[in-house]
Amino acid sequence: MSLKELTMQQHRDAERQKFAGVLMSGKISKKTYLRYLVNQHACYSAIENTSFSLPNKKLERSENIIKDINELKLDLKLEFSDNLSNMLTESTLEYVDYVQKISSENDFIAHVYVRYLGDLRGGQMIAKKVPGNGFYYQFEDSNNLAKDIYSKLNDDMAEEAKKVFNFATQLFIEMYDVMIQQDE
């Protein structure tokens, strides 16, 4: 078995969410995508600020996501200084708290697998459909970065990886709900 097989059901659950369809539709509004990026930024900042290290520093996403956020702010005529923390959802706040408490390298790598390998793989499809330059999805030397992640994986990480997928799915649910509420 591989982590991919062990978490296939969780990946499928995430992909089946209505918000996954919105991301892939080519029609997501800038405001909704901005909210998504603000939430992703909080998640990645949390991962990139633990005492554990990413398998390769080039995987780091926080600054790239900030570039996308700033581009959208400009586009939407928002002030750079605008604090968008009111866009953070409940599951993001929970996730940030969760990541800060990770106490083993194995658990940390499970988060790296779900987030960063996801961006290196499926993320490349999403990149073509969302507003802006998509710095978030641009990696230097992506094949080697994927290898660096694979070299750290073992099947014992499956349970933690499933939790990470569940957080991501929860965010998709929240994102869709807010989008409908706000009529975006």
DSSP of 130-157, one letter per residue? SSS--GGG--SSHHHHHHHHHTT--GGG
Kindly state the smallest distance separating residue 82's Cβ from ligand HEM, in Å: 27
Task: Work out whether 179 is an interface residue with ligand HEM (CB under 6 A).
Answer: no
Task: Work out whether 127 is an interface residue with ligand HEM (CB under 6 A).
Answer: no
128 SS3 class? coil
Residue 160 and residue 167: Cα distance in Å, rounded? 11
Nearer to ligand HEM, 50 or 70 (CB): 50
Question: Interacting stretch for ligand HEM, rule CB under 6 A, among 34-42, 61-69, 83-91, 111-119?
Answer: 111-119
Kindly state the smallest distance separating residue 74's Cβ from ligand HEM, in Å: 25
Question: Interacting stretch for ligand HEM, rule CB under 6 A, among 3-11, 25-33, 89-97, 176-184?
Answer: 3-11
Residue 131 and residue 118: Cα distance in Å, rounded? 19
Residue 116 and residue 21: Cα distance in Å, rounded? 20
Residue ranges that bind ligand HEM, judged by CB under 6 A: 3-4, 11, 14-15, 20, 23-24, 113-115, 117-118, 121-122, 125-126, 165, 168
